Amino acid sequence: MLASWNNRKALLAKTIILTVFLIIISIGGIFMEEAALETDFSRKNLSPCFKYLFGTDNLGRDMFARTMCGLSASIRIGILASAFSSVIALVFGIAAALGKRIDFIVNFLIDLIMSVPHILFLIIISLCFGKGVRGVVIGLSLTHWTSLARVIRAEVVQLKQQPYIKISGKLGKGKLYIAFQHMLPHVFPQFAAGLVLMFPHAVLHEASITFLGFGLSNEQPAIGVILSESTKYLVSGMWWLAFFPGVMLVIVVICFYAAGNNLRKVLNSASAHN
Amino acid sequence: MLLISVSLCSFLLMNASPIDPLSANVGQAALGQMSREHIEKLESYWGSKEPPVKRFITWGKDFISGDMGISLIYKRPVSKIIAERLKNSFILMLTAWIISGVIGFILGCISGMNEGKLIDKIIKCYCLIVSSAPVFYLAMILLLVFSVWLKVLPIGFFAPIGVKSEDVTLMDMLHHAVLPAVTLSITGVSSVAIHTREKMIDIMESDFVLFAAARGESRWQIFKNHCFRNVLAPAIMLQFAQISEIFGGSVIVEQVFSYPGLGNIAVNAGLGSDLPLLLAITVISAAIVFFGNLAADTVQHIVDPTIRRGGLNNVSILE
């Protein structure tokens, strides 16, 4: 059956499988929250076995449940943050292409954000808005829109030179009408792929900032928290505390990358059949 | 211009933060016990009642003349702490930056020259995994393997534990910088390698490479004569643009290895709400990134003759 599929269908199928996998993790994690918080000292410091796939930590918490729960939190925060920041990117990107003065301001903002390492920016923003989910989401949204905004701006600048856009303008259509009716459909594939490809960065930065102690609070089973706790036990040889959660995080991030790249190929009809 | 706005921006953000300079300096408990007059005196001393713009201007003047304020958690002038830590971080970042650039470039070239072959797939896979793994996780894995299991490299810090700072030799310092530097290099490799690879594939498909192959040049000759310079320019641009990434990575890596660098105190400053220190670090990191970009333009001029001769329209082709 697979042989009769063309590349486009296969890509679409892959993307759907990846998406379903990610959705299962993010929803499954919510249901595992209770198991993740349950402590049981009769089973502490177990190395991985069949019952506890990823082992247990020094409070006897099931690392598998904690990992799933943390991943799901990370994914949800990532989705929220990338949604916000891609909207910022879309608005700024299109706005930049329409007026010279706005273009100057937007470019300046992009340079401003790019010139400070993201981590430092996140630290400052989390100081400003407080730690926890809110600070992290605001921080991630404010820092991650820059590259997507650049892509969209370049696209729109190119579109502006197209004859049909110019004709539309000459026919008396307003700037907003042109932006929504003519430009948005063209920009959309770039936008969607950019949105999905923003997840990995957002998720990684979320984990890093939480790891450093500026993100989610300690009680929450977040990936960053799990990993920063496990650094203390690395030296005593409890490798499973760090190894499995990290591997799961890497797998999730790779899934996002793959899904984003596939989506780009599917939406970009010219390259879908290669 | 950009630097001023960076500092203004971070200044405003910190200004908006709920941290009260008075309670951060004196401590909440002490503040409660003080008399009203005393508090007012302190307020005028720290200037917390003055408008933010005025405070920013005073801070800016002091900053330019070298007085960056006094760190709240270390109780020492910020400029001294930064000078000290910057040296440590600088060694780390510079080595990582050079190693990752060179290795990334080589890997990218190999992979691009052999597109679709096994070695290309291995390199691509490696880059994907490395760019998907958080820096601190890589650092932890390396720590686990080399320090805990193999016991060949130290767990962290800048020098051996229990040795006086005067007795620390250069070898000790290098020995302790190996793991952090390696971690930073590994993560830096992937983006340079991927971009170089794509550039290389483009060039391998070009007419002049086809012609060179038709003339009977060997693969090495093709690479040396036709590809090297073309690939080098964008790679160098990218490498300079990566300074900010390396800086961000160093913040995390230094934290994992308890390496006393700039990133380490940045985290401490953030956790201890030490605003003067954090502000100074932000401005300095922005300055480093800024000079990196400046250097990129300069190097670009040297490497790429088309730009040197004023043919700026070639830039669009390179990008």
Same domain, B18 and B136: no
The rounded mean pLDDT for chain A is 78
Query: What is the spatial distance between Cα B140 and Cα B149, in angstroms, rounded to a whole number?
Result: 12
* Side chain identity, residue B306: T
Same domain, B280 and B148: yes
Q: What is the mean pLDDT of residues B224-234?
A: 81
pLDDT band at B180; cut points 50, 70, 90: confident
Least confident of A127-131, A142-146, B18-22, B189-193: B18-22
Residue B316 has pLDDT above 50, yes or no: no
Residue A221, phi-psi category: left (phi > 0), alpha (psi -120 to 50), beta (remainder): beta
Strand partners, A62: A56
Residue A150 has pLDDT above 80, yes or no: yes
Residue A207 has pLDDT above 80, yes or no: yes
* Side chain identity, residue A21: F
Q: What is the mean pLDDT of residues A113-135?
A: 79
Same domain, B146 and B281: yes
- pLDDT tens digit sequence for B251-290: 888 887 777 777 777 887 777 777 777 777 888 888 888 8
User: Domain coordinates of chain A in residue numbers?
Assistant: 2-40+52-272
Given a contact cutoff of 8 angstroms between Cβ atoms, the answer to whether B113 and B231 are in contact is: no
What is the reported pLDDT for B71?
65
State both tokens at A256. 């996002």
Q: Residues B106, B108, B109, B114: is their CA dihedral positive or negative?
A: positive
Q: Which residue range(s) make up the domain with B126? A: 84-318
Least CB–CB distance from B14: residue in A124, A204, A207:
A124
The verdict on a CB contact (< 8 Å) between A246 and B134 is yes
Q: How many CA atoms lie within 13 A of A274 on its CB side?
A: 8
The rounded mean pLDDT for chain B is 73
Domain presence at residue B77: no
Q: What is the mean pLDDT of residues B12-39?
A: 56
What is the reported pLDDT for A67?
80
Residue B50 has pLDDT above 60, yes or no: no
**Residue of B136, B149, B255, B316 to mutate, testing the A interface (most A Cβ within 10 Å of its Cβ):** B136
Same domain, B125 and B237: yes
- pLDDT tens digit sequence for A157-205: 888 888 888 888 888 888 778 878 888 888 888 888 888 888 888 888 8
What is the reported pLDDT for B23?
53
Domain presence at residue B124: yes
Same domain, B182 and B141: yes
Domain presence at residue B78: no
How far is the CA of A165 from the CAs of A99, A183, A268, B215, in angstroms? 16, 8, 21, 47
Given a contact cutoff of 8 angstroms between Cβ atoms, the answer to whether A65 and A36 are in contact is: yes
Same domain, B239 and B133: yes
Q: What is the DSSP letter of B188?
A: H
What is the reported pLDDT for A188?
83
Collapsing DSSP to helix, strand or coil, B191 comes out as helix
What is the percentage of chain A residues whose pLDDT exceeds 70?
81
Given a contact cutoff of 8 angstroms between Cβ atoms, the answer to whether B197 and B123 are in contact is: yes
Q: What is the mean pLDDT of residues B167-196?
A: 77
The verdict on a CB contact (< 8 Å) between B247 and A204 is no
Same domain, B26 and B104: no
What is the reported pLDDT for B36?
59
Domain presence at residue B249: yes
Residue B318 has pLDDT above 50, yes or no: no
Measure B103 CA to nearest chain A CA, in Å.
Answer: 23
Query: What is the spatial distance between Cα B158 and Cα B311, in angstroms, rounded to a whole number?
Result: 48
B273 close contact with A: CB closer than 8 A:
yes
Same domain, B116 and B236: yes
Measure B196 CA to nearest chain A CA, in Å.
Answer: 19
Same domain, B212 and B110: yes
A23 CB neighbour count, 10 Å cutoff: 11
CATH number of the domain encompassing residue B247: 1.10.3720.10
Query: What is the spatial distance between Cα B314 and Cα B319, in angstroms, rounded to a whole number?
Result: 9
Residue A246 has pLDDT above 70, yes or no: yes
- pLDDT tens digit sequence for B69-108: 666 666 677 777 777 778 778 888 888 888 888 888 888 8
Same domain, B39 and B109: no
Residue B86, Cβ density class (10 Å: 0-12 exposed, 13-18 middle, ≥19 buried): middle
CA angle, B84 then B87 then B88, to 5°: 95
Domain presence at residue B52: yes
Q: Tell me, which fold does domain A2-40+52-272 have in CATH? A: MetI-like fold (1.10.3720)
Domain presence at residue B287: yes
Tell me the residues of chain B between 247 and 266 that have a Cβ less than 8 Å away from chain A. Answer: 247-248, 251-252, 255-256, 263, 266
Q: How far apart, in Å, do the first and last CA atoms of chain A sit? A: 20
